[in-house]
Structure 1
Amino acid sequence: MKKLLVTLSVLGLAVVACKKEAGKPVPNEIDSIAQLKEDSAGTVQNKADKEAALKKANDEILQALKNKDYKTFISWIHPEKGIRFSMYAFVDLKGDKHFSKADFEKFQPTKTLFTWGAKDGSGDPYKTTINDYLQKWVFSGDFTASQYSVNKFIAGGNSLNNLKESYPAASFTENYIKGSEKNSEMDWKTLRLVFEEFQGKYYLIAVVNDQWTI
């Protein structure tokens, strides 16, 4: 009988102890929760670092274009993938003008004419030098004072925008200049810079212009 009472007492204490601990995570659960919090904080930090790096790259490239500092611009071109230029929102991976970094550096100072695409409306081929294309087409407005976004489109016209499908592993920045009231804001323009990471740094793999098309 005494043994039975002792046993019941021990069981009772165990039940009370369990009730007191109810709702408290066990050590393994605590470790898991802590790890989840760390992982979440790390993800947020990594995203912030990535966006900061892209903003820095974007601003330096725009300033280089504004200053016609093509040596700095060339330094941002992807060492292995080179760079592609799209005149409008639709990216033609086979037809749009593409340079290796070495070829771009070689031809940039020259008067060599390249065909960059076809002009909207007329369909006429747009032939000009690298410098002329950068000055008159790519940097057709002061994009250093434009509205900025990362991996998000601000503006769009009636031209198909297939940037994300064309560069699924890339990140991009958008620099948008609002159109004028005089032209019912139809003369807006935007410049998208497409980046991929290589050996710990973001490099430029594409430059995509966009504007209202007919």
Structure 2
Amino acid sequence: MKNLIFLSLIILVTGCSKENKASVSVQKNNTETSKKDSIPKIPEPVKLSKNELLKNLNTEIVASLKSKDYDRFSEFIHPEKGIRFSMYAYVQPEKNKHFTREEFIKYISMRTRFTWGEKDGTGDLLIISLKDYLEKWVFKGDFTKSEFYLNEFKGTGNSLNNLKEMYPSLDFTENYIPGSEKYGGMDWNSLRFVFEEFQGEYYIVAVINDEWTA
């Protein structure tokens, strides 16, 4: 009889021990689940379309020109192909000034003058420094308030435009400032950036100004 009672006690204690372990396990699992639930989830970054990306880049580039932050502007220059500047819509590689990113950084703070091309109407040569060219020619209007276009020409006149022939597979943006009523709309101005992809990022390979020419 004593043996029977003793055996019953052992079974009872073993059963309680298993229940306690199971209870602890459940509590532990609940605690871990609670901790996981309490950790804030980091939202996945929104992936922009190419059109949205180029529009944002265009905005940043224009802003850097307006603020004269040329260190920032230099970061948008193509690392391998550099950047070409064209005074007018007709791109002429043999005449247009071209800089590597390193050359741009070197000359932007120097007074070295370059011949950029001939002014329409007079034929006078435009000979000024890189900094003056950006401030007096490239950013000749407040393009932060301009109309934005992607792969589309808004500014059109009697000047030749060979952008698509020179860069047939590349994307470009146009920042267009309409002309005034005073001059019959003929005093419009456009600033275009041509982009090329490199290692998953887009960079400028050309800066092209356009306006009404004689």
Partner SS, residue 115 of structure 1: strand
Q: Following TM superposition, by how much is the alpha carbon of 1:100 offset from its aligned partner in structure 2, in angstroms? A: 1.0
Contact 1:115 1:127 in 2 (8 A): yes
User: Pairwise mapping of residues 178-189 of structure 1 onto structure 2 (< 5 A)?
Assistant: 178-189=178-189
Normalized against structure 1, the TM-score is what?
0.77
- Contact preservation (8 Å) 1:157, 1:211: yes
Kindly state the Cα deviation for residue 157 of structure 1 after the two structures are TM-superposed: 1.1
Q: Which residue of 1 aligns with 2:41?
A: none
Contact 1:110–1:129 at 8 Å: present in 2 too? yes
Q: Give structure 1 regions of 4+ aligned residues with deviation exceeding 4 angstroms.
A: none
- Residue 88 (str. 1) matches residue 100 (str. 2): no
2:21 maps to: none
Structure 1 residue 198: Cα displacement = 0.3
Structure 2 unmatched runs, 5+:
1-46
What fraction of aligned residue pairs are identical, expressed as a percent? 57
Secondary structure (helix, strand or coil) at the match of 1:183 reads: coil
Letter in 2 for 1:171: D
Structure 2 residue aligned with 1:7: none
Contact 1:93–1:166 under 8 Å retained in 2: no
> Per-residue deviation at 1:169?
2.2
| Matches of 1:149 and 1:57, distance apart in 2 | 13
Match of 1:62 in 2: 62
Which structure has the larger Rg over C-alpha atoms?
2
Does the residue aligned with 2:182 lie in a helix, a strand or coil?
A: helix
Matches within 5 A, 1:56-135: 56-135=56-135
Which residue does the alignment assign to 1:153?
153
RMSD: 1.1
Structure 1 residue 153: Cα displacement: 0.7
TM-score (norm 2): 0.77
How many Å separate the matches in 2 of 1:101 and 1:157? 32
Q: Report deviation, 1:168.
A: 1.4
Q: Distance in 1 between matches of 2:93 and 2:131?
A: 22
Check conservation: 1:191, 1:209, Cα contact below 8 A: yes
More helix by share: 1
How far has the Cα of 1:208 moved from its partner?
A: 0.3
Residue 95 of structure 1 deviates from its aligned partner by: 1.0
SS at 1:64's partner residue?
helix
Letter of the 1:160 partner, please give it. Answer: L
For the pair 1:52 / 2:52, whether they are aligned, the reply is yes
CA distance in 1, matches of 2:167, 2:183: 33
SS of aligned partner of 2:68: coil
Whichever residue aligns with residue 165 of structure 2, its letter is E
1:205 corresponds to 2:205: yes
1:170 deviates by: 1.2
Q: What residue ranges of structure 1 are gaps of 5+ in the alignment?
A: 1-45
Give the drift of 1:181: 0.5
